[in-house]
Chains A and B, each alone.
Chain A
Amino acid sequence: MLRIEGLTAEVEGKPILKGIDLEVPAGEVHAIMGPNGSGKSTLSYVLAGREGYEVTGGSATLNGVDLLGMEPEERAAAGVFLAFQYPVELPGVGNANFLRTALNAIRRGKGESELDAMQFLKLARARLKELQMSEDMLKRGVNVGFSGGEKKRNEVLQMALLRPSLAILDETDSGLDIDALKIVADGVNALRAPDFSALVITHYQRLLDYIVPDKVHVLMQGRIVQTGGPELAKQLEASGYASVQAAA
């Protein structure tokens, strides 16, 4: 499980997270909602260890392992996966090559044996089929020339291959049409298991129709101001964040 206690962080000297307490038990999917600038993306980058996101206090552990003291790649090997809001293009790097390199890096980190090209291809094809994606996905450069929807699907494909114990989806729904949204949601739902937890960061309730969360947290001005069940998301959709702010 993911346990965050009293987490504070700043970006370029400006405090963004002002004391986050959050627990996502293994097997659960939690949503984090909040208006722009509330600190949602900062929280995901802090957990993944991005440079420039300075932790000033508190702790974050995954299955009892301290995340904050580790390099980003060590966190990845420990089971943290971040689905990017804006997946990055790597010109000239083939997607299959990238995926296999990543998978083997993580398998090495876990002390598992690496997959050769044939073993990898077999696994990748199986995942592609589950996700109803075309094999062309493997032949192209990493995210180069991908539409917004294709980039997000590629994130889901990576997640399905890497099998993290914690997936953080940073506004994965932004820029997706309804079909792509369903594919993303199906991908996450397919991973649901007793040893898998997910933090779904979203601005809108729409995605949560397809990925039904166990809990919804509202993040505002760097703090979690309200926690509830899936109905909280619907309530926010109807009355907006202003109502929460008033209540808080």
Chain B
Amino acid sequence: MPAVAETLDTVQSVTEGTYKWGFETEIEMDFAPKGLNEDTVRFISAEKKEPEWLLEWRLKAFATWQKMQEPRWPAVKYPPIDYQDAYYYAAPKKKDGPKSLDEVDPELLKTYAKLGIPLKEQAILAGVEGAGDSPSEGGRMPIAVDAVFDSVSVATSYKERLAKDGIIFCAISEAVQEHPELVKQYLGTVVPPGDNFYAALNSAVFTDGSFVYIPKGVRCPMELSTYFRINAKSTGQFERTLIIADEGAIVSYLEGCTAPMRDENQLHAAVVELVALDDAQIKYSTVQNWYPGDAEGRGGIYNFVTKRAQCRGKRSKVSWTQVETGSAITWKYPSCVLLGDDSVGEFYSVAITNNHQQADTGTKMIHVGKRTTSTIVSKGISAGKGQNTYRGLVRVAPTASGARNFTQCDSLLIGDQCGAHTVPYIENRNMSAKVEHEATTSRIAEDQLFYCRQRGLSEEDAVGLIVNGFCREVLKELPMEFAVEAQKLLQISLEGSVG
């Protein structure tokens, strides 16, 4: 609740239309030669000192990608992308030797400090007794962070603390070296390299990302988080995240992202794979705040992302929560394949499009196991000239007896030049399954605004309050720390949308 008051303060301190994460860090970088061909793939693999099998895997993906077409079915418009006119690898020049926080370039540390990302293990360094063993004591809950800067992971905190429980949390490039058997066993098994155009591209040139393995029966003692930052010019970010929750494991994972303001469009094509075995639970939360472009629609990130979870085990559960406020274009469908009997998939989404932003986002819930259940709650908010499409698929296979789905899609319009579209697909092949879909579209009514203003709220604060109310069902799914952030972000994203 106090978050709204904080929201108001934040907004007051932010001048209209500014994207406060838009600064650029000056740092010496290593680049791969511009353009994309087999040599680029080999370069990346060599830079990462990858084993032969992974290079082969990448090259195969690259060959597949070359035969594929960019998808044209999303309801988004953009000029053709020249895939040869970009860098596929950009890494801060590094000094040799083992990576520890003390050796990270101070410029990078400053960057993350400016972004409000705690890379230092604050509680432990501050000497709070017992903080290392019991995260809930000593006030603030620590969050383990993996920071990915352009193409590489620059630091991962709390690794040793997590290792005590057998938890692996590291950069995926590190996992390839340290835990090749796990990577080999799971990589590409949820999102195969040839799954779609962008997934194939990612498989060929992915650079870094996070790797998480939670062993049997372990409940991860703190939130895990990856913070993605695109900094270099003309560079695409292709990260790959793989999370495996073994039997009975429980983990909550957060993801945040920002980029500098630039007139050019930059590509972000990530792949996220989640695997939940018997009785495992994964909660994956995203606050996506890539640079959205300016008020005239210049610049901004193209966010073309494939996120998918497999609930392989019985009674396993995966919950996706996303707050999508950034990017010029968002193309993203975090999905759940519900294989295990009684497994559960959830998708909670808030997507905002303001100015010229376009979003085509939603989810797929594929019911295969018996008595599998899924819940979809999607809140789309369109303002300015923004276009917002919910696209969802609920598929019930003949095997999924007693499957259940509930879908709710609400759209809120601000102004008269924006658009909201809902495209739900339902394919039910089992007579005993129950699929429900509800959808609404509404406007922020003049009487709601006047009511708030009569009580002393400015028009923008009133919109913020009403929008936060509209999104409440989704925001309450976010971990506490993120919920406050998200509320602020919603309001900032909508600045200038009324009046």
Question: Hey, which bits of chain A sit against chain B, CB under 8 A?
Answer: 48-52, 71-73, 75-77, 80-82, 84, 87-94, 96-98, 100-106, 109, 114, 116-117, 141-142, 158, 162
Contacts and interface: CB of A to CB of B under 8 A. Distances in A.
A106 B4 contact: no
B269 to A, nearest CB: 34
A73 B456 contact: yes
Contacts of B466: 90, 93
B153 to A, nearest CB: 38
B465 A105 contact: no
Nearest to B12: A108
Interface of B: 1-2, 4-5, 8, 445-448, 450-459, 461, 465-466, 468-473
A88 B1 contact: no
28 contacts: A48-B454, A49-B453, A51-B446, A51-B450, A73-B453, A76-B455, A84-B451, A87-B451, A88-B445, A88-B450, A90-B465, A90-B466, A91-B470, A92-B468, A92-B469, A92-B471, A93-B465, A97-B4, A98-B455, A98-B465, A101-B4, A101-B5, A101-B457, A102-B452, A105-B455, A105-B461, A158-B455, A162-B455
A233 to B, nearest CB: 27
B1 A114 contact: no
B447 A104 contact: no
Contact of B1 (A50, A96, A109, A158): A96
A162 B456 CA distance: 10
A173 B5 CA distance: 33
A166 to B, nearest CB: 12
Contacts of A87: 451
A102 B457 contact: yes
Given A92-B470, A92-B473, A82 B465 contact: no
A82 B454 contact: yes
Contacts of A76: 453-456
A163 to B, nearest CB: 12
A97 B465 CA distance: 9
Contacts of B454: 48-49, 72-73, 75-76, 80-82, 84
B471 to A, nearest CB: 7
A77 B5 CA distance: 17
B475 to A, nearest CB: 9
A106 B448 contact: no
Contacts of B473: 92
Given A92-B471, A101-B8, A116-B2, A77 B456 contact: yes
Most chain B Cβ neighbours within 10 Å, of A72, A97, A158 = A72
Given A72-B453, A73-B458, A102-B456, A88 B4 contact: no
Given A101-B457, A102-B455, 10 more contacts: A51-B446, A73-B456, A73-B457, A90-B452, A93-B465, A102-B457, A103-B456, A105-B456, A106-B455, A141-B469
A105 to B, nearest CB: 4
A105 B458 contact: yes
A101 B465 contact: yes
Nearest to B7: A101
Tell which of B448, B450, B451, B466 has the most Cβ of chain A within 10 Å: B451
A94 B1 contact: yes
A207 B175 CA distance: 75
Contacts of B468: 92-93
A162 B452 CA distance: 13
Nearest to B448: A88
A96 B451 CA distance: 16
Nearest to A80: B454
A90 B472 contact: no
Contacts of B5: 100-101, 104, 114
A49 B465 CA distance: 20
B450 A106 contact: no
B322 to A, nearest CB: 18
Given A90-B451, A90-B469, A92-B468, A105 B457 contact: yes
Nearest to B9: A114
Contacts of B447: 88
A189 B445 CA distance: 33
Contacts of A77: 456
A91 B457 CA distance: 17
Contacts of A72: 450, 453-454
A201 B457 CA distance: 24
Nearest to A77: B456
B446 A91 contact: no
A103 B8 CA distance: 13
Contact of B456 (A49, A93, A97, A109): A109
A139 to B, nearest CB: 11
A72 B449 CA distance: 10
A84 B454 CA distance: 10
Contacts of B457: 73, 101-102, 105
A82 B451 CA distance: 9
A114 B8 CA distance: 12
Given A84-B451, A101-B8, A117 B1 contact: yes
Nearest to B473: A92
Contacts of A71: 453
Given A73-B457, A73-B458, A93 B446 contact: no
Contacts of B1: 94, 96-97, 100, 117
A8 B4 CA distance: 39
Given A109-B456, A162-B456, A91 B2 contact: no
B412 to A, nearest CB: 10
Nearest to B451: A88
Nearest to A143: B451
A84 B8 CA distance: 25
Nearest to A107: B456
A8 B480 CA distance: 52
A82 B452 CA distance: 11
Nearest to A105: B456
A105 B464 CA distance: 14
A117 B452 CA distance: 19
Nearest to A96: B1
Query: In this complex, which of B8, B450, B458 has the most chain A Cβ atoms within 10 angstroms of its Cβ?
Result: B450
